[in-house]
Structure 1
């Protein structure tokens, strides 16, 4: 795969919640299990393990709601952590469509305070093959719809 066919996904989204609450939704196992995964997928709470520190991990398994035999495990390692501000980590791709096994996929989440008690999240993830990027963007989008609902409680 050439570099020209690989891209970084960048999503900016404003949440109607304070930065600390949005950050916690990514780092608290109970909350992550309630919202993570695109519509049609869920994350069983017992599959979630998070150790938020440099060298720590975020592990969970997404399960397809219609066919629970379809699963998508995640096993990331944190490389940068600034509480309520920044989470950076990576995962080695394994069985990911369009990515050779062993490809390092990075995820950077920046949490910015916005007026009115809102939070602007800047997400950077990749590299992804161009053909896969739209699906990843759609997956995050529907996950964030579920996160909006959780934050509104």
Structure 2
């Protein structure tokens, strides 16, 4: 039996994008756009399409594996607050093979940065039973933002 534990941690990531706020915001709001960058490191052949019901109270969901034949990770989030081109606040949980490993409150803020966008992601997490850790989540979020950066650059080209 797994020893039960709870760890709390917060991290903040700031990133500049060479794209207007509306394009960066829409990359979070549109299921097709988000599916290109959100799962990041997962194998696309082992991932269901990203579902996004982008409205306050709406749910977003993604299921996939990190490695072929590895554990199945399920991400489910609920949008708590949305102010177009300014902020998104959501709560989410992640499960591995059906066992909850973390619960988080995440705020995404969008601000002008010259002709581009300054994005600030703040993640306040509760990590359960040592099955997930804040530094893993932060690294994963940074990786996702790298993929978003590439996706937005390709859309410019």
- TM superposition score normalised by structure 2: 0.78
Find the counterpart in structure 2 of residue 144 from structure 1.
145
Counting only pairs closer than 5 Å after superposition, residues 85-96 of structure 1 correspond to structure 2 as 85-95=86-96
- When residues 77 and 41 of structure 1 are mapped into structure 2, their CA distance, relative to the original with a 3 A threshold, is same
Unpaired stretches in structure 1, ≥5 consecutive residues: none
Find the counterpart in structure 1 of residue 58 from structure 2.
56
- TM superposition score normalised by structure 1: 0.80
Cα RMSD over matched residues?
A: 2.8
Find the counterpart in structure 2 of residue 124 from structure 1.
122
**Residues 15 and 120 of structure 1 are in contact (CA less than 8 Å); yes or no, is this contact kept in structure 2?**
yes
Find the counterpart in structure 1 of residue 31 from structure 2.
29
Provide the rounded CA distance (Å) in 1 between the counterparts of 2:54 and 2:91: 13
- When residues 135 and 58 of structure 1 are mapped into structure 2, their CA distance, relative to the original with a 3 A threshold, is same
- When residues 56 and 44 of structure 1 are mapped into structure 2, their CA distance, relative to the original with a 3 A threshold, is farther
Bigger drift between 127-136 and 22-31 goes to: 127-136
Residues 90-114 of structure 1, C-alpha deviations (whole Å, 9 max, x = no match): 1245449xxx948641111111111
Unpaired stretches in structure 2, ≥5 consecutive residues: none
